[in-house]
Every structure is written in C-alpha cells, then in structure tokens.
C-alpha cells in the first residue's frame, strides 16, 4: 500500500471511524455478555468438584468458540462500513481519502 502523508479526514470519514469504534466496542461487549453464562455457572456450582469439572468440559469450550467467532463477526461488520466509505469517496471523487479507505479495506 502506498504511503499517505498529511491526510486530513473530513466529517464523513470521522463519522465512519466513530461507527467502526462502536462496532469494535459492541464486539467486545458481545464477548463479555457471553462470558456471563460461564461465570454464573462456575460460581453457582463451585461447591462441587465434579460439577466444576463438567463446566470445564462444556461451558469453557463453548466460551472459547464464542471468543473465536466474535472477531470474525466484528471484522465482517467493519468491512461493510469500510466498503460504504469506498463507495462514498469514489462517487465524490476524493482520491486521497479513497486511497486511505482502500488501504483500510485491504488490511482487513
């Protein structure tokens, strides 16, 4: 990707970056929300060693799967946002910002 120096973001780009940050925050929130089931399970049954062992076999593996899946889903949502910015700057013929968003797209 080419170097871009002195790039100034316009309002549309700033708004898009805010939306991307929000998607990242939601992705993190999703991980936290799903961990709630695991955490409640461990604390509710921690009196029993066997129950605790069962939790390890089921909940933690599901939790691990969920944690792996969240970044993929978040990245897909962010890519949609970046595509919209590419369309925006292509049609508005702002080639510097188009170059910037194309670089973001290719890095996803």
Partner 1 sequence: MKAYKWLGFCGIWLTGIAAASNASHDVDVFLAQQVSQQLEVLAQRIQTCDALKDNAEPPVLSATQLQQWSVSHEVLVNAIGYLSQHNDFQCHQAERQAAVYAMGAYAAVSANADEMLTPVSHGLLYPSEQYYQLMIQFQTLPQAAQQYLQQQVGEAPFDLLAAIRGLPNASE
Q: How many residues does the chain have?
A: 108
**Site map (CB under 8 A) of partner 1, residues 60-99, x = contact:** --xx-xx-xxx-xxx-xx--xx-xx-xx--xx--------
d(CA 19, CA 42): 35
Residues 97, 8: contact at Cβ < 8 Å? no
Work out whether 15 is an interface residue with partner 1 (CB under 8 A).
no
The tokens describing 22, both together, are: 């929000």
SS3 call for 50: helix
Shortest distance, CB of residue 19 to partner 1, whole angstroms? 8
Which residues contribute to the site for partner 1 (CB under 8 A)? 22-23, 26-27, 29-30, 32-44, 58-59, 62-63, 65-66, 68-70, 72-74, 76-77, 80-81, 83-84, 86-87, 90-91, 102, 105-106
């Amino acid at each position: 990707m080419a170097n871009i120096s002195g790039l100034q973001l316009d309002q549309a780009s700033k708004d898009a970056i805010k939306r991307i940050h929000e998607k990242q925050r939601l992705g993190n929130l999703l991980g936290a929300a799903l961990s709630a089931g695991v955490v409640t399970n461990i604390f509710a049954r921690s009196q029993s060693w066997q129950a605790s062992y069962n939790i390890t076999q089921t909940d933690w593996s599901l939790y691990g799967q969920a944690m792996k899946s969240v970044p993929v889903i978040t990245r897909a949502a962010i890519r949609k946002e970046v595509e919209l910015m590419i369309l925006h700057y292509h049609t508005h013929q702002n080639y510097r910002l188009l170059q910037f968003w194309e670089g973001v797209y290719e890095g996803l």
